[in-house]
Structure 1
Amino acid sequence: MSIRVDPQRREELLSTAVAVRAAESDQDGRLRLEVTFQDLRHAEWALWQLGTDAEALAPEIVADRSA
């Protein structure tokens, strides 16, 4: 799953993710991460915990639900 997150909330997100496969900074200072969660429900829960500090980019099904 591809997500963008406020760097100040990075550790909180990583404490719920199963694995982080890639990380890089965006031009606006947010982090773009490739992460793995247990399943779709777990991913949605983790993103809801971060509110507007996180945004799902892919897969499309999660991105559509978080908009």
Structure 2
Amino acid sequence: MYETDLVIEDATHSEAIFRTYLIGYGNEFCPEVGIVSYVDGEVHCSEHAGDKESSEGDDEEGDFPFL
């Protein structure tokens, strides 16, 4: 969703743009108290780092499902 928003707004990722985006949509990424970050084109949450919800058979450990 974040990358779609960047395209719609014709914007380039920056920490400030991501933090502003999280103000409106942060609870959708992590309804708990996790720290949400954008790394290498993916959104990650510190509280859900060990969750494996992918049905794709992703072999990488500690990844938050791609949003």
TM-score (norm 1): 0.30
Larger radius of gyration: 2
With the length of structure 2 as denominator, give the TM-score of the two structures. 0.30
The higher-RCO structure (CA 8 Å, 6+ apart) is: 1
Task: Report which of the two has the higher share of helix.
Answer: 1
Specify which structure has the higher proportion of strand: 1
